[in-house]
């Protein structure tokens, strides 16, 4: 079966889907996106993703193209049409199509694209059981990382550099030597004292929806949590480390810059939180 995409009001074959060459997402990266994980045909953390989407659009002064209820229907329909049981659904909204000019054009309609694809969740679960390696990279992104913008070039360069070092994720390091977040995830450690630690929300990081869920799960477990910045050296001395994102969910980190973290294998807390997440996040 060929894949189906949704583009500006129409369901079209994926290999024929297109936007205009003067779409501002293409010309200026003038747009935002969201990604929902799909497990057993159901979207994870829908409410949180819609809330963040609304915030990102508002920060960029892009009009909302349709009501959440209508958008939710289209998202689920794209998942259904592509027969995705386990995978993801991707949404992108740009300011729209207009003659190229830096200033906001008036009277244009936002462009919306939705795609969905299946993923090998067994492989993802296997990766989580093994753990991943992470490499630190200088954080060279813009000052509004709290907006889920389609402008991801620094993230791409950081992740590629990490891949070339044999790591699956990059942890960004700011000018003070402190970790902000991953190239496509939030960063966590469990300190030597057993405190679950992740950087506090600010314009320096994206407010991860999975991050939000994990904090709630940690509260249910009555874990001690500290939302603050930490350094790479502190991470290397931690009991455990892990990343969170819609696609990675909760994935243990066992090595940072080729140095083993903890016992060099997934820790019990990260594994427990992943299990909790999988049980709780479907809506």
Mean pLDDT confidence for 127-141 = 97
User: So where are the chain's domains?
Assistant: 4-119, 124-280
CB 254 within 8 A of CB 264: yes
CB 47 within 8 A of CB 69: no
Query: What local confidence, expressed as pLDDT, does residue 1 receive?
Result: 60
Q: Residue written as tokens 């296997």?
A: 126
| CATH number listed for the domain at residues 4-119 | 3.30.470.10
Q: How far is CA 118 from the centre of its chain?
A: 17
Q: What is the pTM of this model?
A: 0.96
For domain 124-280, the CATH class is alpha beta
In sequence order, what are the residues at sequence separation of 6 or more whose Cβ sits closer than 8 angstroms to the Cβ of residue 185? 169, 208, 243, 244, 245, 248, 251
Query: What local confidence, expressed as pLDDT, does residue 121 receive?
Result: 87
Q: pLDDT band at residue 2, thresholds of 50, 70 and 90?
A: confident
The alpha-carbon radius of gyration of the chain (Å, integer) is: 19
Catalytic residue numbers?
148
Over 80: is that where the pLDDT of 43 sits? yes
Mean pLDDT confidence for 45-67 = 96
Over 80: is that where the pLDDT of 283 sits? no
Over 80: is that where the pLDDT of 282 sits? no
Rounded distance between C-alpha atoms, residue 73 and residue 181, angstroms: 32
CB 9 within 8 A of CB 16: no
Q: pLDDT band at residue 280, thresholds of 50, 70 and 90?
A: confident
- Beta-bridge mates of residue 97: 23
> For the chain, what is the mean pLDDT?
96
Q: pLDDT band at residue 126, thresholds of 50, 70 and 90?
A: very high
Rounded distance between C-alpha atoms, residue 196 and residue 206, angstroms: 19
């Amino acid at each position: 079966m060929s894949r189906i995409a949704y583009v500006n009001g129409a369901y079209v074959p994926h290999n024929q889907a297109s936007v205009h060459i003067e779409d501002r997402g293409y010309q200026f990266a003038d747009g935002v996106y969201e990604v929902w994980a799909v497990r057993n045909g159901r979207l994870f953390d829908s409410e949180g993703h819609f809330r963040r989407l609304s915030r990102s659009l508002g920060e960029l002064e892009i009009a909302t193209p349709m009501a959440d209820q209508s958008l939710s229907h289209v998202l689920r329909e794209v998942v259904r049409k592509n027969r995705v049981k386990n995978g993801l659904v991707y949404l992108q909204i740009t300011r729209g199509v207009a003659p190229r000019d830096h200033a906001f054009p008036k009277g244009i309609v936002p462009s919306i694209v939705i795609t969905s694809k299946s993923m090998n969740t067994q492989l993802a679960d296997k990766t989580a059981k093994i753990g991943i390696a992470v490499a630190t990279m200088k954080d060279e992104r813009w000052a509004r990382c709290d907006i889920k913008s389609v402008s991801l070039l620094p993230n791409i360069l950081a992740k590629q550099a990490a891949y070339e070092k044999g790591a699956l994720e990059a942890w960004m390091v700011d000018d003070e030597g402190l970790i902000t977040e991953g190239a496509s995830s939030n960063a966590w450690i469990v300190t030597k004292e057993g405190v679950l630690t992740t950087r506090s929300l600010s314009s320096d990081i994206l407010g991860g929806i999975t991050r939000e869920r994990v904090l709630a799960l940690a509260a249910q477990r009555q874990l001690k949590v500290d939302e603050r910045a930490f350094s790479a050296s502190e991470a290397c001395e931690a009991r455990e480390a892990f990343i969170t994102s819609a696609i990675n969910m909760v994935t243990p980190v066992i090595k940072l810059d080729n140095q083993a973290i903890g016992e060099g294998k997934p820790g019990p807390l990260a594994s427990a939180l992943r299990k909790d997440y999988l049980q709780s996040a479907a809506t």
